[in-house]
Chains A and B, each alone.
Chain A
Amino acid sequence: MDTFTQILELDEDEENHDFSQPMVWEYFEQAEKTFGDMDDALKQRDLNTLSGLGHFLKGSSAALGLSRVQDSCEKIQHLGHRLDGSRQLSDDEALAKITKMVKRVRIQYGEAQKWLKDFYGEVAL
Chain B
Amino acid sequence: MAYNVDEKNASTSGSASQPALPARSTEDPMPSTSDFVKKLYKMLEDPSFQSVVCWGPLGDCFVVKDMNEFTKSILPRMFKHSNFASFVRQLNKYDFHKVKNTDDNQFGEHSWTFRHPDFHADRRDALENIKRKVPAARKYTPSSSSNAGPSAIAPAPASPSPTHAQLTAEIQRLKDEGDDLRGRIRNLERNYENVLVELVGFQRGMAQQDGLMQSLIGWFLEGGDIGSGIYPPIQPSSLSEPGLFLPPQAVQQRIGQSPADIGRATLMQMNELSRRGMSAGESGRLWSGMDFNVGGNGFDAGASAGPSQEGAQPRSRAEQLAQIRDYYNQRQAAGSSSTSASVAAAASTQRRSSDSVALAASRAMAEAQVQQQQQSPASVSSYSTDQPTPPQWGPTPPFVDASSSSSFSPQSQGGVGMGQYPSPSDNDLMTHEGLQVYTVGHLLPRNTYVEDAQGNWSFDPSALLSGGMLGGLRMGGQDDEEEEVVRPSPSIPIGIPSSSSTSAHQSPELLTASTPGVKSGGTSGATQQKLRVRRSTFVPGWAVPPRVLLVDDDAVSRKLSSKFLKVFGCTTDVAVDGIGAVNKMNLEKYDLVLMDIVMPKLDGVSATSLIRKFDQGTPIISMTSNSKPNEIMTYYSSGMNDILPKPFTKEGLLDMLEKHLMHLKVIQQMSRLSRNIGIPPLSDANFEQALTQAYNAPSPFSFQFFGDGDNDGMSMNPLAGMGLTDEQYSTILQNIVNGEGFSGMMDSGIGGMEGGEKRGRMDDMDDDRGGKRSRFEVVE
Would B479 and A30 count as touching, CB distance under 8 A?
no
Would B646 and A52 count as touching, CB distance under 8 A?
no
Annotate A8-51 by CB proximity to B: 1 below 8 A, 0 otherwise: 00111111101100110011001000000000000000000000
Residue of A3, A16, A23, A59 near B521 (CB, 8 A) is: A16
Residue numbers in A under 8 Å from B650 (CB-CB): 6
Would B560 and A18 count as touching, CB distance under 8 A?
no
Residue of A12, A30, A56, A74 near B536 (CB, 8 A) is: A12
Cα(A33)–Cα(B126), bound, Å: 111
Would A62 and B536 count as touching, CB distance under 8 A?
no
Would A13 and B555 count as touching, CB distance under 8 A?
no
* B519 interface contact, C-beta 8 A: yes
Q: Which of B590-639 contact A (CB under 8 A)?
A: 596, 598, 625-626
Q: A7-B560, A15-B519, A23-B559 are in contact. Are A59 and B554 (CB under 8 A)?
A: yes
* B647 interface contact, C-beta 8 A: yes
Would A13 and B519 count as touching, CB distance under 8 A?
yes
Would A6 and B649 count as touching, CB distance under 8 A?
yes
Cα(A23)–Cα(B564), bound, Å: 13
Q: A13-B484, A59-B625, A63-B554 are in contact. Are A23 and B478 (CB under 8 A)?
A: no
Residue numbers in B under 8 Å from A2 (CB-CB): 649
CB distance from A73 to the nearest CB of B (A): 10
Would A62 and B625 count as touching, CB distance under 8 A?
yes
* B482 interface contact, C-beta 8 A: yes
CB distance from A33 to the nearest CB of B (A): 10
> In this complex, what residue of A is CB-closest to B597?
A55
Residue numbers in A under 8 Å from B478 (CB-CB): 18
Residue numbers in A under 8 Å from B484 (CB-CB): 12-13
CB distance from A86 to the nearest CB of B (A): 13
> In this complex, what residue of B is CB-closest to A63?
B557
Cα(A55)–Cα(B596), bound, Å: 12
Residue of B480, B483, B521, B625 near A19 (CB, 8 A) is: B480
Would B647 and A56 count as touching, CB distance under 8 A?
no
- Name the prevailing secondary structure of the A interface residues: helix
> In this complex, what residue of B is CB-closest to A10?
B563
CB distance from A23 to the nearest CB of B (A): 5
Cα(A11)–Cα(B559), bound, Å: 13
Would A55 and B625 count as touching, CB distance under 8 A?
yes
Residue numbers in B under 8 Å from A55 (CB-CB): 598, 625-626
Would A63 and B482 count as touching, CB distance under 8 A?
no
Cα(A55)–Cα(B563), bound, Å: 22
CB distance from B399 to the nearest CB of A (A): 16
Would B646 and A59 count as touching, CB distance under 8 A?
yes
Q: A10-B564, A10-B567, A56-B598 are in contact. Are A23 and B556 (CB under 8 A)?
A: yes
Annotate A50-77 by CB proximity to B: 1 below 8 A, 0 otherwise: 0010011011101111000000001000
Q: A18-B480, A58-B625 are in contact. Are A64 and B519 (CB under 8 A)?
A: no
CB distance from A15 to the nearest CB of B (A): 7
Q: A7-B560, A23-B560 are in contact. Are A13 and B482 (CB under 8 A)?
A: yes
* B272 interface contact, C-beta 8 A: no
Residue of A11, A26, A52 near B556 (CB, 8 A) is: A26
> In this complex, what residue of B is CB-closest to A15?
B519
Annotate B480-492 by CB proximity to A: 1 below 8 A, 0 otherwise: 1011100000000
Residue numbers in B under 8 Å from A27 (CB-CB): 555-556
Residue numbers in A under 8 Å from B483 (CB-CB): 12
* B573 interface contact, C-beta 8 A: no
Q: How many A-B residue contacts, CB cutoff 8 Å?
A: 81
Cα(A10)–Cα(B650), bound, Å: 10
CB distance from A98 to the nearest CB of B (A): 17
Q: A10-B563, A22-B479, A55-B598 are in contact. Are A3 and B555 (CB under 8 A)?
A: no
Residue numbers in B under 8 Å from A22 (CB-CB): 479, 559
Residue numbers in A under 8 Å from B480 (CB-CB): 18-19
* B198 interface contact, C-beta 8 A: no
Cα(A19)–Cα(B534), bound, Å: 14
CB distance from A83 to the nearest CB of B (A): 12
Cα(A13)–Cα(B559), bound, Å: 17
Would A62 and B646 count as touching, CB distance under 8 A?
yes
Residue numbers in A under 8 Å from B567 (CB-CB): 10
* B553 interface contact, C-beta 8 A: yes
Annotate B49-62 by CB proximity to A: 1 below 8 A, 0 otherwise: 00000000000000
Residue numbers in B under 8 Å from A65 (CB-CB): 647
Residue numbers in A under 8 Å from B516 (CB-CB): 14
Cα(A30)–Cα(B555), bound, Å: 8
Q: A12-B484, A62-B647, A63-B647 are in contact. Are A18 and B556 (CB under 8 A)?
A: no
Cα(A23)–Cα(B647), bound, Å: 15
Cα(A39)–Cα(B318), bound, Å: 59
* B535 interface contact, C-beta 8 A: yes
Q: Which of B261-319 contact A (CB under 8 A)?
A: none
Interface centre among B484, B553, B560, B626 (most CB of A within 10 A): B560
Residue numbers in B under 8 Å from A74 (CB-CB): 625
CB distance from B374 to the nearest CB of A (A): 41
Interface centre among B553, B559, B596 (most CB of A within 10 A): B559
Q: A6-B649, A10-B567, A12-B535 are in contact. Are A60 and B479 (CB under 8 A)?
A: no
Q: Which of B22-68 contact A (CB under 8 A)?
A: none
* B243 interface contact, C-beta 8 A: no
Would B598 and A26 count as touching, CB distance under 8 A?
no
Would A64 and B479 count as touching, CB distance under 8 A?
no
Would A16 and B560 count as touching, CB distance under 8 A?
no
CB distance from A102 to the nearest CB of B (A): 19
Q: A55-B598, A65-B647 are in contact. Are A16 and B553 (CB under 8 A)?
A: no
Chain B contact residues, CB within 8 Å of chain A: 477-480, 482-484, 516, 519-521, 534-536, 553-557, 559-560, 563-564, 567, 596, 598, 625-626, 646-647, 649-650
18 new A-B pairs (CB below 8 Å) besides A23-B559, A26-B555? A10-B563, A10-B564, A12-B483, A13-B520, A16-B477, A18-B477, A18-B478, A19-B563, A23-B560, A26-B556, A30-B555, A55-B626, A59-B598, A59-B646, A60-B555, A62-B647, A63-B554, A63-B560
7 A-B pairs with C-beta separation under 8 A? A10-B567, A16-B482, A18-B478, A59-B557, A59-B598, A59-B646, A60-B557
Chain A contact residues, CB within 8 Å of chain B: 2-3, 6-7, 10-16, 18-19, 22-23, 26-27, 30, 52, 55-56, 58-60, 62-65, 74
| 7 closest residue pairs by CB, A with B | A12-B482, A62-B647, A60-B556, A18-B482, A27-B556, A63-B557, A13-B482
